[in-house]
């Protein structure tokens, strides 16, 4: 026991020394460099700091790309100096061409997406998780050859290792992300153990399993400072043999909810468009009112997301009905300039709604409204205590269920409970 503790202490000390020497590197690049030094199967990579983009200093990058030109594609991974303080998946990783133009494009897109698609996520992490202020132009990137295959993310939760599998791009039939404690290849288990032992702290490891079955380590993240409820319970718990109880709750969650009805929003917009077409009131003022309705709606979404760290979404109508969307986009066709202004606002509104939906950890909607998950959304460390719940009703009951919610008076700001019964069917009620 003593020698094991000494081994861990030496590993941690070695990590701290390396970190002092590599303090100019973001955590993602530091850990990849350490794993390369530890002879793990890390693909060749290069870290390109923001200063190199600012000063057009690309000699090392061009030499690296020349060496990997035969693969045609590379993957560019975000490596902001403050990225370790944000949850995984906040910043982009992109496939791009293995040339200088492709790398510049990837970085430019990362910065743009951080300021648009991920803006609300960044603001929420800064408010609720004390994430620091960031200067997006400080974005560095890690470039490595693109490896075709399946993504697997591993981490130890309590006493158990878990492995989250994401899509394999080569398969025509795509499967949903899933988690298992039994990986398809035992080598994944042994490599994960060795990596965590080598680094000396609890970590989340991302692998790519290539088409020929080779396991590549493409990322590691220090999660030792993230408190996980299951881990605390496993460390403080004693396993017994059974329980006698009268009232049974299999699964339960409470969340403040936002009630979303895009159809109602579009009916308001069409009503105001009618005022414009029929000449009721000042035409310029009506257009300003229409744009104000859209802007106010988007501001309400952002305010709600910044008020509640964890929230649910009750979706009467998450996507605007196709016919209403088309009507709104063509109502003002006789005044092309104004119609273009309105169409642009409606187009941006679709993105604002999507960004808001991506921040909810509980979706209550019909079964057609499926949530698309990436690996971090599905089984990243930040989902362990708060996994995404998607509670649904069948589409053939849509009017009936929405009518019942409306009859019972569910409103934005209400706190609801979701109780999953023993038969797996959920019920939702106001608290």
Residues, the chain: 431
Reported as a single tens digit per residue, the pLDDT across 131-176 is 999 999 999 999 999 998 889 999 998 788 999 987 655 555 556 7
Nearest CA-CA partner of 219 in 203, 206, 209, 210:
206
**In the predicted model, what is the mean pLDDT of residues 328-345?**
83
Highest mean pLDDT range out of 182-191, 192-201, 379-388? 192-201
**For residue 3, how many C-alpha atoms fall within 13 Å in the half-sphere facing its CB?**
0
Kindly tell me if the per-residue pLDDT of 185 is higher than 90. no
Q: What is the pLDDT of residue 368?
A: 83
**In the predicted model, what is the mean pLDDT of residues 219-227?**
87
Q: What is the pLDDT of residue 177?
A: 81
Q: What is the pLDDT of residue 57?
A: 95
Q: What is the pLDDT of residue 196?
A: 96
Mean pLDDT of all residues belonging to the chain = 84
Instruction: Please state, in angstroms and rounded to a whole number, the distance separating the CA atoms of residues 360 and 381.
Output: 16
Kindly tell me if the per-residue pLDDT of 327 is higher than 50. yes
Kindly tell me if the per-residue pLDDT of 192 is higher than 70. yes
CB atoms within 10 A of CB 404: 13
According to DSSP, the residues that pair with 162 across neighbouring strands are 155
**In the predicted model, what is the mean pLDDT of residues 75-91?**
93
Q: pTM above 0.85?
A: no
Instruction: Please state, in angstroms and rounded to a whole number, the distance separating the CA atoms of residues 165 and 180.
Output: 8
Instruction: Please state, in angstroms and rounded to a whole number, the distance separating the CA atoms of residues 259 and 395.
Output: 18
Kindly tell me if the per-residue pLDDT of 24 is higher than 90. no
Q: What contacts 334, CB < 8 A, 6 or more positions away? A: 277
For the ranges 78-92, 116-130, 317-331, which has the lowest average pLDDT?
317-331
For the ranges 47-61, 129-143, 159-173, 243-257, which has the lowest average pLDDT?
243-257
Kindly tell me if the per-residue pLDDT of 10 is higher than 60. no
> What beta strand segments (E) does 184-249 contain?
203-210, 215-222
Kindly tell me if the per-residue pLDDT of 22 is higher than 70. no
Question: Residues of the chain with pLDDT > 70: what percent?
Answer: 84
Kindly tell me if the per-residue pLDDT of 229 is higher than 70. no
Q: What is the pLDDT of residue 424?
A: 77
Q: Are 327 and 270 in contact (CB under 8 A)?
A: yes
Nearest CA-CA partner of 217 in 231, 228, 225, 206:
206
DSSP secondary structure letters along 320-350 = --HHHHHHHHHTTTTSHHHHHHHHHHHHHHH
Reported as a single tens digit per residue, the pLDDT across 353-368 is 999 999 999 999 988 8
Q: What contacts 185, CB < 8 A, 6 or more positions away? A: 209, 213, 215
Higher pLDDT, 271 or 333: 271
Q: What is the pLDDT of residue 227?
A: 67
Kindly tell me if the per-residue pLDDT of 289 is higher than 80. yes
- Residue position matching structure tokens 């693109």: 146
Q: What is the pLDDT of residue 284?
A: 64
**In the predicted model, what is the mean pLDDT of residues 48-60?**
96
Kindly tell me if the per-residue pLDDT of 13 is higher than 50. no
User: How do strand 46-48 and strand 140-145 relate by DSSP bridges?
Assistant: antiparallel
Question: Residues of the chain with pLDDT > 90: what percent?
Answer: 52
Kindly tell me if the per-residue pLDDT of 209 is higher than 80. yes
Instruction: Please state, in angstroms and rounded to a whole number, the distance separating the CA atoms of residues 296 and 301.
Output: 9
């Amino acid at each position: 026991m003593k020698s094991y503790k000494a081994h861990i202490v030496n590993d941690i000390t070695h990590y701290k020394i390396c970190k002092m020497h590599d303090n100019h590197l973001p955590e993602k690049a530091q850990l990849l460099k350490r794993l390369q030094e530890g002879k793990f199967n890390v693909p060749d990579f290069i870290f390109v700091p923001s200063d190199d983009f600012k000063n057009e200093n690309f000699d090392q990058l061009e030499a690296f790309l020349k060496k990997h030109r035969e693969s045609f594609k590379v993957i560019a991974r975000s490596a902001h100096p403050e990225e370790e303080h944000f949850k995984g998946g906040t910043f982009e990783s992109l496939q791009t061409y293995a040339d200088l133009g492709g790398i510049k494009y990837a970085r430019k897109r990362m910065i743009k997406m951080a300021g648009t698609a991920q803006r609300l996520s960044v603001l929420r992490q800064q408010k609720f998780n004390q994430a620091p202020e960031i200067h997006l132009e400080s974005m560095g990137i890690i470039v490595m050859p693109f490896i075709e295959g399946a993504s697997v993310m591993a981490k130890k939760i309590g006493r158990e290792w878990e492995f989250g599998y994401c899509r394999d791009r080569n398969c025509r039939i795509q499967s949903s992300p899933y988690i298992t404690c039994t990986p398809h290849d035992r080598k994944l288990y042994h490599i994960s153990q060795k990596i965590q032992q080598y680094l000396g702290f609890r970590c989340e490891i991302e692998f790519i399993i290539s088409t020929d079955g080779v396991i590549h380590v493409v990322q590691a993240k220090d999660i030792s400072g993230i408190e996980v409820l299951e881990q605390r319970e496993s460390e403080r718990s004693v396993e017994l043999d059974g329980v006698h109880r009268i009232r049974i709750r299999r699964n339960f969650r409470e969340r403040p909810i936002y009630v979303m009805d895009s159809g109602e929003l579009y009916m308001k917009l069409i009503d105001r468009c009618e005022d414009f077409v029929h000449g009721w009131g000042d035409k310029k003022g009506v257009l300003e009112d229409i744009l104000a309705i859209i802007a106010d709606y988007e501001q309400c979404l952002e305010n709600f997301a910044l008020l509640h760290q964890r929230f649910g979404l009750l979706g009467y109508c998450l996507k605007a009905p196709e016919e209403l969307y088309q009507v709104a986009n063509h109502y003002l066709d006789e005044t092309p300039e104004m119609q273009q202004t309105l169409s642009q606002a409606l187009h941006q509104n679709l993105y604002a709604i999507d960004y808001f939906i991506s921040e909810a950890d509980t979706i209550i909607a019909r079964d057609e409204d499926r949530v698309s998950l990436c690996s971090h959304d599905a089984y990243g460390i930040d989902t362990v205590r708060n996994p995404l719940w998607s509670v649904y009703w069948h589409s053939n009951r849509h009017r009936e269920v929405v009518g019942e919610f409306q009859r019972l008076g569910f409103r934005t700001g209400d706190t609801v409970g979701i109780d999953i019964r023993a038969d797996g069917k959920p019920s939702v009620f106001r608290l």
